[in-house]
Amino acid sequence: MSGWCSASHSFGAVDNFERPRRPLRKVIDMPLLDRTLLGPGPSNPYPEATAALSAPLLGHLDPEFLRVLDETCARLRRAWGTENARTLPLSGTGSIGMEAAFANFARPGDVVVVGVNGLFGERMVEVAGRYGAEVVRVDHDWGTPVDTERVLAAHPEPSMVAAVHAETSTGVRSDIRELALAVHKRDERALVLADCVTSLAGIEVAIDAWDVDIAYSGTQKCLGVAPGLAPFTVSPRAWDRRVPRPPTWYLDLNLIGAYVDGSSGGRTYHHTAPVAMITSLHAALGRILDEGLEAVWERHQAAGARLHEGLAELGLSLFAAEGYRLPELTTVRVPEGVDSAKTREALLTEYGIEIGAGVGAFASSVWRIGLMGHNARPDRVELVLGALGRVLGRR
């Protein structure tokens, strides 16, 4: 047998290759930078989530890991405010949740109405179209919430209505409860899809009470875990309307569910679950639920309110419409004459603080400041306000 690991090669054969010009340790070492991640995500994880990553690795079919997986799904149900049996963490970031939603519940030719008020509403349009849906987009000014009446008026009988709960690009909250209840009052068959990537575990999310059919999130925001998982939940109504054989194998919920659901006594292997990430999510959810969901929401609200107040004291104005501003993600207008990129660079290099730029047409005129998960704390608020005030004071 020939190849990289042929048995005929001894360790001494390595001497025949050119040695690196510097020791291997120096090649792979990275500086340990202590960053305070106050951008639109990722955020600094909860300490419990970080500690869980160092636990001994288990196999994805190990009975102990399957117990942790089942517990994680149960904890996610509490975080989502749902009894949905089909609630699980998908392998991938929040965008995988969006992809899975359209792949499994939008057939070619289905009419999908999307409320667009920012970048991630636009992505919903893009993804739904790639799966062959007939997309009807309802555009709103960026910085304003999705309007329920305009969305309802866009089409009389859509198969699905989709919107972003907390728009990460603009810092705006839309009323998903009002939208979902209105859609189902008109037509019980229509499915309602909510992007909750920046809202889950930061502000109230109540899937069952709001009558939402499909929702997804991401671990790197208010859940306080590193990027890598997309919490996902599906109502029984939506499950009955699923695509029998989706055009994607990896995101086929029929196959994934056969591994995650152990109620029948067996697990069918689909793909290797990211066991360390799920263990980390399990720990973070334990931390959140021990504190209490309402207390966590109140902590985010208090941090966001103080940030908004402090930014006003610095003479800065907010971008998102008043009354719809997220506490966990604040968009602030860059003052005239201030270089957005240089200000963010100064915060990063001098103070180790990351804040985000705007996106699209607002890339250089808006900053995005996140106070999510472990960072939704008074000390983080005062840290970013103090550093930003000093940097702006030098101009």
Contact yes or no for 332/316 (Cβ under 8 A):
yes
Residue type, 247: P
Q: Is 25 annotated as a binding residue?
A: no
Say what angle helices 293-313 and 378-393 make with each other, to 10 degrees: 20
Rounded-to-integer distance, Cα 350 and Cα 372, Å = 22
Nearest partner of 241 among 111, 128, 107, 133, judged by Cα:
107
| E strands, 92-165, in order | 111-116, 134-139, 160-164
Q: Which residue in this structure is represented by tokens 């009975």?
A: 63
- The DSSP string of 58-90 is --TT-HHHHHHHHHHHHHHHHHHT---SEEEEE
Retrieve residue 22's tokens: 């510097």
Residues annotated within the binding site for substrate are 368
Residues annotated within the binding site are 368
